[in-house]
Amino acid sequence: MPVNRVSPPSVHNPSDQISQVVTVEGTRLVHLSGQVAWDAQGRPVGLGDHEAQAAQIARNLDAALAAVGATRNDIIEETVYVVDYTPKLLPAIFGPLRAGVSEAPASTLVGVPALFAPEYLLEVQVVAALPGRGAMTEPYRPTTPQRTSVPGHASPTGSARHPPRAKIKISKRHSPAAPGRTRPSPRDWSASPWRLWRRWACA
């Protein structure tokens, strides 16, 4: 999963705890809701203490990311909302958030007057990147050529096969002769008495 983190010298980078530019390729993005300092039962942790709340948020991020097979090293972008922000709070906030992390994400810190409840001083929203699900499987292709052929379609060798034409035997039909008589041939007709009489009568 190619992830490239860059802090170009032409852009001021106040700390190595953040990256100015992050690019990802061939990944799945994981978007987390903003995490605050509460435990699994929803009870506030570290009342009035930014550092204690940052440590609890880091634990919540670990648990949420683990549900999809990710860690805080996979975070590529984060937004941190801080109540009563002063620059002196930076080590207390980013110390717990970066503990055990080898690569810093792109980061934005926003000072806010309040969050959704007065007990919470920090909220962290992150985006993580995971490897893609893999290449698509190849469609099934039979390993042996098909031997069957369809009339009028090309065979596996490329030539068209046609079914052999049926040979139909046509016989001449003769009208049956009268019972007890045989049908004379034309030669017999010319020698019949009727023909001889017609020749004599017309002479």
More confident residue, 10 or 49: 49
Superfamily of domain 3-131: RutC-like (3.30.1330.40)
Structural Rg of the chain based on CA atoms: 49
Mean pLDDT across the chain? 77
- CA 109 from centre of chain: 36
Task: Read off the pLDDT of residues 70-79 as tens digits, 9 standing for 90 and up.
Answer: 999 999 999 9
Map out the domains of the chain as residue ranges.
3-131
pLDDT value at residue 1: 59
Q: How many of the other CB atoms lie within 10 Å of CB of 50?
A: 22
- Region 15-32 average pLDDT: 79
Q: Which position has the token pair 């799945």?
A: 28
Q: Is the pLDDT of residue 123 over 70?
A: yes
129: which DSSP letter?
E
pLDDT at 14: 73
The answer, yes or no, to whether residue 61 has pLDDT greater than 90, is yes
pLDDT digits (tens, 9 = 90+) for 135-165: 333 443 444 445 545 555 554 554 455 556 6
Identify whether the C-beta of residue 142 lies closer than 8 Å to the C-beta of residue 55.
Answer: no
Per DSSP, the chain holds a count of helices (H) and strands (E) of 4, 6
Distance CA 115, CA 5 (A): 30
